[in-house]
Copies of this chain bind each other. A is one copy, B any other.
Amino acid sequence: MLLKLVDLEEKRRDAILNAALKEFATKGFDEASTNVIAKESGISKGLMFHYVNSKKDLFLFLYDYCTDIINNEYLELMNFNERDIFERLRQSYLLQLELLRKHPWIFEFNKVSTITKSEEINKELEERLKGKQSLCYETMFDLIDESRFREGLDFERCKQLIFWANVGFTNQILEDIRTLENNEFDYDKIIARIDGYFNELRKLFYK
């Protein structure tokens, strides 16, 4: 369970975690390099392996760590009773932003971490996938209030368009967050931008 890692002082632990998150998220398990992770963490390779045992253990630890965080600090807190799609999405943004501040690669890792050359890891992941609740297009766009939309629109296409607008917007924010090295990004400014876009979307789609 990587106790040595868990008991580590927060700053260094997060440095390792985020470096690993980034490396795995961008290259996948097989192509990811522990050398890169160690270097990015700012510690020697020896020390890193002292904390994480092996590449495989680190990866699986990260997997559990991320699903836990996403479950507890995001999915659990989402209120899907909100039927206004833009309110629901806004809520989602606020929660995600909070996570991204600490772990800029957490969602990317969550997407990529599925298929591996290592049979051992594939098996472990398959095991953990059972009963895992995941956030997808379907849940996000399920049971939304259609009556607010303008007449004459194709509802399915509209949902798709709103979804794409969101993907684009999310990527823009992510890029912003990742480029600034200093941890303090302007939370309020981002939210203002988010509200600006939702305002525009309302004008477009709602009566």
Name A residues whose Cβ lies closer than 8 Å to a Cβ of B.
Answer: 27, 31, 152-154, 157-158, 160-161, 163-165, 167-169, 196-197, 200-201, 203-205
> Within the complex, which residue of B31, B153, B160, B200 is in contact with A157, where a contact is CB–CB below 8 Å?
B200
Given contacts A31-B31, A152-B203, A203-B152, whether A165 and B157 have CB atoms under 8 Å apart is: no
Chain B residues with CB under 8 A of A163:
168
Q: How far is the CB of A170 from chain B (nearest CB, A)?
A: 10
Chain B residues with CB under 8 A of A157:
196-197, 200
Q: Report whether A200 and B165 are in contact in the complex, using a CB–CB cutoff of 8 Å.
A: no
> Within the complex, which residue of B152, B153, B160, B168 is in contact with A167, where a contact is CB–CB below 8 Å?
B168
Chain B residues with CB under 8 A of A165:
161, 164-165
> Within the complex, which residue of B152, B158, B161, B200 is in contact with A158, where a contact is CB–CB below 8 Å?
B200
Copies, count: 2
Q: Report whether B153 and A200 are in contact in the complex, using a CB–CB cutoff of 8 Å.
A: yes
Instruction: Determine the residue in chain B with the shortest Cβ distance to A156.
Output: B200
Q: Report whether A203 and B153 are in contact in the complex, using a CB–CB cutoff of 8 Å.
A: yes
Q: Report whether A154 and B205 are in contact in the complex, using a CB–CB cutoff of 8 Å.
A: no
> Within the complex, which residue of B154, B167, B203, B205 is in contact with A164, where a contact is CB–CB below 8 Å?
B167
Chain B residues with CB under 8 A of A197:
157, 161
Q: Report whether A200 and B154 are in contact in the complex, using a CB–CB cutoff of 8 Å.
A: yes
User: Which 6 residue pairs are nearest across A and B when measured between Cβ atoms?
Assistant: A164-B168, A157-B200, A204-B204, A164-B165, A161-B165, A164-B164
Complex: A31 Cα to B200 Cα, angstroms? 42
Given contacts A161-B165, A164-B169, 16 further A-B contacts (CB under 8 A): A27-B31, A31-B31, A152-B203, A154-B196, A154-B200, A157-B196, A158-B200, A160-B168, A161-B197, A161-B200, A161-B201, A164-B168, A167-B167, A167-B168, A168-B168, A204-B204
